[in-house]
Structure 1
Amino acid sequence: MSGWTSAEKQLITAATALAPSVHNTRPWVLEFHDEHISLYERLDRALPHHDPVGRDRLISCGAALEHVLLAARFLGRVVDIDPRHDRAHPDEVVRVTATGRAEPSDGDRRRYRAISARRSHRGEFAARPVERDLRRELLGGHDVDGVGLRPVTEPGEVAVLARLLNHSALVLRADRAYQRELAAWTAPVRDPSPGAGVSSATRRVATLPWAGLVRPTTAIPDVGFLADRLSRELLLLVQTPDDGRYDHVRAGMAAERTWLTATDAGLVGSVLTQPCQLHEVRAGLVESLSLAGFPQLLLRLGHP
């Protein structure tokens, strides 16, 4: 295969910049070579209080990787993924190698076009439930090996989730180091550029579950009230069989592919990863929901 053209590099880089990331830190770097693209994680974008083991950073890299793959396929490239485990380059996450050419599928075209439309929705969803056929499409459409999407729909399960989210919110609201780190990564503008931190507008979303990022002023409703709110949403728990480096990457890939499919279908959503940073919350999800793997994040979807 011939190398990447300047136009291809520009399109892939622009698409990757729009991937969601923890605190909008954009913790990755792309490096183009003749036949492959290397994706590196940016260790200088670490969040030691929010993300002490770098799980969310790798989930973010997985979302970025999904954008790289979509953009490459949109350009007519056939690509393979090579996870990296090189001790000489521990920050290299994956290589994307061009192996041929083919027309992109209709699904790839639609998801690629959804990249520019996808946004984190921090408000309440409409009362209209997500249609059954669309739910089935979202649950079965991510096609990332080793990643499962677990809907949380039964009243008892939603009550468990509400209790765990309530606990994590109370812990994070009182964690001064976490709050200082979040404040440092809050941009002074409503629409910060990729990598510049979270929007100042998130400060005005002052109640769960829509706040997403818990601040000292976040209102935390009681568990019953929170469960009632959550019961009106489509809640998908992303889980992996193991909890290693590439499991986190694949979780980010699957979540972003599902989110882009939902965006193409007219839905809006947001991702919650903060609760899974607390050991007791992850353990509670595994035990209470009888999960077969490790919960990595919660994807909230609904009609705007």
Structure 2
Amino acid sequence: MTTSPLLAPPVEHAWSAQERSVLVRAALNANPCGVGNPWTLEIQGHRAELYERFGATSWHHDGTGRDRVIACGTALASVVVAVRVLGWVPEITLLGDPSHPDLVATVTARARHRPSSADVRRFQAIFDRTRHRDTHDPGDFPEEMLADIMAAGTRPGVRLLALSAFTPANRKQTLDPGLLVVTTSDGRRDQVLAGAAMQEASLAARAYGLTSSPQISPFQFREFRQRIVRSRRVRGSPQLLLRLGRRQPVEGTEPW
């Protein structure tokens, strides 16, 4: 009887100096969520590790720094997009080390990946500095485009809901129209996922030539989140709202 030789186990890819530069630049250009960069990215060998800076300045009326954790999620999403465009399948471990509570995620690469045109467009969108000005109702955009943007941010444990402007129960402040990011529960992991989902959806929108801007600060308050749940009968925990808009078209051209 003959036997086939054993296949060698997969070996993690060690990031080169050039690749490390790409990953760092992608993280630095993630949406800061109003709190800057409250994270540290450490890249050694085959591991890219994202740490939350617990001492970073943050809006933390609820005492947990939700916006800081969400910002870590946006940085993680940008790193993942960069890994894909570099030609690798990102393997992500969230909050995987109890001895290092500040460790948000670890990203490694084992298998090769051929970047798609969508990967390239979304990577380029990371560095798009166009400011968001006018917010539009999600229903104003073509159905296929909106579905693609929402699919980019959808993952296990987090989904996006397209909402028109509305006033939460018993409040005078009207919430802008946009994509509501909702997670299954409301732990630290959920907040990381919400930030990553928002960033992926934002990059997809910008790849279509739209503008985007998150609204996070009202969601710091538990009472506000509960009012949205009651008003819109949302299942899960609302984390933030992603507002979308059209760029000003060049004269004589279509807006997309």
On whether the aligned pair clears a TM of 0.5, the verdict is yes
Residue 105 of structure 2 is matched in structure 1 by 94
Matched, 1:9 2:20: yes
Aligned to 2:239: 296
Whole-Å separation in 2 of the counterparts to 1:134 and 1:276:
27
Give the one of 29, 33, 41 matched to 2:44.
33
Q: Does 1:132 align with 2:139?
A: no
Quickly say closer, same or farther: Cα 1:94–1:288, change in 2 above 3 A: same
How many angstroms does 1:130 deviate by?
Answer: 1.9
**Structure holding more strand per residue:** 2
Give, in angstroms, the shift of residue 163 of structure 1: 6.5
Distance across 2 between alignment mates of 1:71 and 1:6: 14
Equivalent of 2:166, from 159, 162, 182? 159
Moved more, 266-275 or 78-87: 78-87
- What CA distance in whole angstroms lies between the structure 1 residues aligned with 2:169 and 2:127? 32
Structure 2 CA distance for aligned equivalents of residues 297 and 287 of structure 1:
16
CA distance in 1, matches of 2:115, 2:146: 24
Separation of aligned partners in 2, 1:119 and 1:252: 20
Which of these residues, 250, 257, 260, is aligned with residue 203 of structure 2? 260
Query: Structure 1 residues 84 and 30, CA, compared in 2 at 3 Å: closer, same or farther?
Result: same
In the alignment, structure 1 segments of 5+ residues that lack a partner are 167-225
Question: 1:111 & 1:160 partners in 2: Cα distance?
Answer: 33
Q: CA RMSD in A?
A: 2.2
Encode CA deviations 1:261-281: one digit per residue, 9 max, x unaligned.
110111112111111112221
Letter in 2 for 1:58: V
Determine the structure 2 residue equivalent to 1:247.
190
Displacement, 1:2?
3.9
- Equivalent position amino acid for 2:27 in 1: T
> Counterpart of 1:253 in structure 2: which amino acid?
A
Query: Structure 1 273/51 Cα, relative in aligned 2: closer, same or farther at 3 Å?
Result: farther
Deviations 1:142-167 (A, max 9, x none): 242211111113xxxx332496472x
Q: What is the letter of the counterpart of residue 33 of structure 1?
A: Q
CA pair 271-11 structure 1, distance change in 2 beyond 3 A = same
**1-structure distance, mates of 2:56, 2:229:** 29
1:148 counterpart letter in structure 2: R
Instruction: Give the Å deviation of 1:140.
Output: 2.5
- Deviation of 1:126 after TM superposition, in Å, equals 7.1
Q: Distance in 2 between matches of 1:61 and 1:243?
A: 16
**Residues 95 and 189 of structure 2 are in contact (CA less than 8 Å); yes or no, is this contact kept in structure 1?**
no
Instruction: Give the TM-score normalised by structure 1.
Output: 0.71
- Whichever residue aligns with residue 206 of structure 2, its letter is T
Identify the structure with the greater helix proportion: 1
Asked whether 1:274 is paired with 2:217, we answer yes
Specify the code of the residue in structure 1 equivalent to 2:57: A
Matched residues in 2 for 1:280 and 1:34: separation?
Answer: 45
* Cα distance in 2, alignment partners of residues 165 and 35 from structure 1: 51
- Give the 5 Å matches for 1:20-169: 20-47=31-58, 49-50=60-61, 52-121=63-132, 123-125=133-135, 129-153=140-164, 158-161=165-168, 164=171, 166=173
Please list the CA deviations of residues 201-222 of structure 1 after superposition, one character each: whole Å capped at 9, or x if unmatched.
Answer: xxxxxxxxxxxxxxxxxxxxxx
In the alignment, is the contact (CA less than 8 A) between 1:119 and 1:269 conserved in 2? no
Q: Which residue of the partner structure matches residue 286 of structure 1?
A: 229
Q: TM-score when scaled to structure 2? A: 0.84
Q: List alignment gaps of at least 5 residues for structure 2.
A: 1-11, 248-256
- Structure 1 counterpart SS, 2:106: strand
Higher RCO by CA contacts (8 Å cutoff, separation 6 or greater): 1
Q: State the Cα distance separating 1:81 from its structure 2 match.
A: 0.4
